[in-house]
Chains A and B, each alone.
Chain A
Amino acid sequence: MVLAIVLITIFASTVRPAFLSGRNITNILRAYSTIGIASIGMAYAIIGGGMDLSIGSTISLSAVVTMLIINATTVDTVSPWWAALLVLAVGIAIGAVIGGINGSIMAIVNGRMGESFIITFAMQIVVGAVAQAVVQGMFQAAAYKSGLFKQFGIGFVPVVFFVGVAVVMQLILMKTKFGRCLYFLGANMSAAKMAGIRIRQVRLLSHMLCGMCAGLAGVLVVSRVNSASVLQGQNYELDAMVCVAVGGTSMAGGSGSVGKTVLGVLVIGFLLTALNVLGVQSNEQLIVRGVVIIVAVILDTINKQAKLREVAR
């Protein structure tokens, strides 16, 4: 995985030396930190043997609400510091509520992967409509020119958020009872149940955390692009899924990690930027993207089998 990033970098920078500039690298990291945060949430849903297709709409809703709050509180193009903290809280809360609904339904129907597709896809539609209703379809431009909120999208700040979320989420996953139970749930739901795990609670919590990540991503993306629309989160669920898959987290659940997902985000980020820098047309870019995903899944399978053989010996 790291090797892939290095190779992409070497290749791109020999053709276009500007690729290796500090500025460009910062740009990549900044641009992909919101996707990264969403992907980490998605990793939780997937490791638990589920999926969340509603994060796109969650990001949109969080974004438009954020913009409305920020614009309403801005005085003389300055956004007050408390507004920035308020939108963080509100954005994450929106995500928690949506994820909580997803998770509750999943818990009630005792759902697995298949159910999660349908449930969260329905949620995607509903939340998308809510976001539409909130802004009445209008594109929201920023009324502020400075203030704490502006800082969220500048320089390394988004990256700091990304790293912070990654560290906390990795800690929860690897070092808490909940995290361990989530792995069992994803690996074998019946065995998890028979081990006396509260599978419904674990399922609920995993979807809530996933939603919260999306909510946070929605807030940050507004600050970076200085605007918000109901299309803000479009395709985020697919991009996040790609990052998780490329990172080597099994779509079947029960394995993978936040660390792997972060690497997946970086590979995708570097790859797509490199393609841009190299002047590859968007149509060809899509082809490369598709190929990368398939290769990642194949490599993961080969890897897994090799590992099993090794241990069996």
Chain B
Amino acid sequence: MQDYILEMKDITKTFPGVVALNKVSFSVRRGEIHALVGENGAGKSTLMKILNGVYQADSGEIHLNGERTVIRDTIDARKKGIGLIFQEFNLVNTLSVAENIYINRLKTRRGRVAWKEINRETQLLLDGFGFNFRATDKIEDLSAAQKQQVEIAKVLSYNAKLVVMDEPTSSLTTSEAEKLFGIIDRLRAEGITFVYISHKLDEIFRLCDTATVLRDGNIIETRETKDFTTEQIIERMVGRSVDMEYPRRNCPIGEVVLKVENITRTGVIRNISFELHRGEILGIAGLVASGRTELAEAIFGAERYDGGAIEINGKKVAIHSTNDGKRHSIGLLTEDRKETGLVLSYDLIRNITITNLDKVKRGPFLSARLEQELATRHAKELSVKTPSMKQFAMNLSGGNQQKVVFAKWLFSDVDILILDEPTRGIDVGAKYEIYLLMNQLAAAGKSIIMISSELPEVLGMSDRLIVLSGGEKVGELDRDHATAEAVMALAVKN
């Protein structure tokens, strides 16, 4: 009889239009370190949010220590001994370590907060773990690794017995990560159980006893890590059946239009070089936080770059602002169309024409008629479905909103389009339309850079693809050599 601290049985969770988790059963033995792996969107976060009471499962049971339980919300989860440490720290930067740990249960003496006592207790806690900072230090003065240690101290101060860590090493250096592993090992010896979410497979083999692979909301396999190989895990992570065809295109690839050389932004991306040809779709693959978006923003001029050069049509150009990017014929379709792609409270006409208002001028003034006419034509070409061009952007479906963002950039007549997660959050049919549109644009001589977290999509659409990891380019694959396994092996390398 195995002693399980946590058993999640047949958990199903659907969001409108998506089955996020499909009868997932996930069990963690007491005292082990259990890895949870899977691609972005495989359902890891959803599963952990259910465990933490952020979401409620549609069906299924949760058993803690062998007893069936319901976790109503995050406070309830905390009471039941579950602690979560997210990738993003949940700390108030301007407050001290002790304040952050005891923020919602400050001890008082005669109505006044007993700071001395709180600081003393915190210090004991920190010393117990061998953390080398003080209870009275301000969070903003700590390193990323130390902040993480504060998070660990925080969940343990609640007597957590099961600690979930989501990508804990993503902001740590190698030596800091080693130290973290030491802490985790020690805590395990003291009886704490861990669920460890990471894309970095070497860490999983180094640290974890068991690994569970999740893919498309299904549990693929749970096995002891000593019985797994890296290749096997990768295969299970990506080995989905290709359930959708990617439209083929047959267009000649022309000369180099964009050449990026050793572009660097300190601490974010380093020495990335590549070329983009006319009529080509270049895929950029890599995990979240690998520097994909940052690369796109540097090329477009939304963020400065400290080193490297950009050449367009063989000429070196200086891009210091988004306006420079646009003038040099680069358009960026951002990953967040609701926040940065569109002004949701404006109508479609305004949203489309904003990139090139000179086109709708008659004399010195904007012509409302010309504006409506041209915007309507662009929207029609992309078959945007809307009752009226005066409709607010917020009232359109995700797919149609995305088409409006395409229309907006096509309106500006740019030749190079950078698409950051162009199909995020839109349904399958609309995705296919976006793929067709990309092919049309490539055939019309535009050059496209496509960033996507969905590996099959980048593989299916790109003529060539580059893989980023940790802000560096770790590989370049042409269409014939780009397989999911090859990309994943590169992406988890760094």
Contacts and interface: CB of A to CB of B under 8 A. Distances in A.
Contacts of A180: 350, 354, 357, 366
A48 B332 CA distance: 23
A171 B366 CA distance: 10
A198 B321 contact: yes
Given A187-B343, A191-B343, A197-B322, A311 B392 contact: yes
A198 B323 CA distance: 6
Given A180-B350, A180-B366, A194 B345 contact: no
A168 interface: no
23 contacts: A171-B365, A176-B365, A180-B350, A183-B346, A184-B343, A187-B345, A188-B340, A188-B343, A190-B340, A191-B340, A193-B302, A194-B341, A195-B322, A195-B355, A196-B323, A196-B327, A196-B331, A197-B354, A255-B345, A308-B392, A311-B391, A311-B392, A311-B395
Interface string B330-358: 01101000011111011000100011011
B439 interface: no
A302 interface: no
B364 A176 contact: yes
Interface string A168-184: 00010011110011011
A200 to B, nearest CB: 8
Complex A-B, nearest 6 residue pairs according to Cβ-Cβ distance, in ascending order: A196-B326, A175-B365, A177-B357, A194-B340, A190-B340, A196-B322
Given A188-B340, A194-B340, A194-B341, 6 more contacts: A176-B364, A180-B350, A193-B340, A196-B325, A308-B394, A311-B395
A312 interface: yes
B392 A177 contact: no
B410 to A, nearest CB: 13
Given A175-B366, A196-B322, A198-B321, A191 B357 contact: no
Nearest to B344: A188
A254 interface: yes
B323 A197 contact: yes
Given A187-B346, A190-B340, A191-B343, A176 B366 contact: yes
Contacts of B408: 195
Interface in A199-228: none
Contacts of B346: 183-184, 187
A255 B392 CA distance: 14
A312 B386 CA distance: 11
A197 B75 CA distance: 45
B361 interface: yes
B447 interface: no
Nearest to B337: A191
Contact of B395 (A187, A190, A255, A312): A312
A196 B355 contact: yes
A110 B342 CA distance: 20
Given A176-B365, A254-B345, A190 B339 contact: yes
B343 A194 contact: no
B412 interface: yes
Contacts of A198: 321, 323
Interface in A253-281: 254-255
Interface residues of B, number: 33
Name which of B326, B361, B365, B390 has the most chain A CB atoms within 10 A of its CB.
Answer: B365
Nearest to B362: A175
A194 B322 contact: yes
Contacts of A187: 343, 345-346
Interface string B405-417: 0001000100000
B363 to A, nearest CB: 10
Given A184-B354, A311-B392, A191 B365 contact: no
Contacts of B350: 180, 183-184
Contacts of B340: 188, 190-191, 193-194
Nearest to A172: B365
Contacts of A175: 365-366
A184 to B, nearest CB: 6
Nearest to B390: A311
Nearest to B297: A194
B207 to A, nearest CB: 39
B332 A194 contact: yes
Contacts of B343: 184, 187-188, 191-192, 254
A104 B195 CA distance: 51
A192 B302 CA distance: 11
Nearest to B356: A196
A177 B395 contact: no
Contacts of A183: 346, 350
A115 to B, nearest CB: 19
Given A193-B302, A254-B345, A177 B361 contact: yes
Interface in A291-313: 308, 311-312
B9 to A, nearest CB: 41
A112 to B, nearest CB: 15
A17 B134 CA distance: 77
Contacts of A197: 322-323, 354
Contacts of A254: 343, 345
A250 B114 CA distance: 46
Nearest to A188: B343
Among A187, A188, A308, max chain B CB count under 10 A is at A188
A83 to B, nearest CB: 33
B405 to A, nearest CB: 10
B323 A191 contact: no
Contacts of B395: 311-312
B293 to A, nearest CB: 12
B443 to A, nearest CB: 25
A312 to B, nearest CB: 5
B364 A191 contact: no
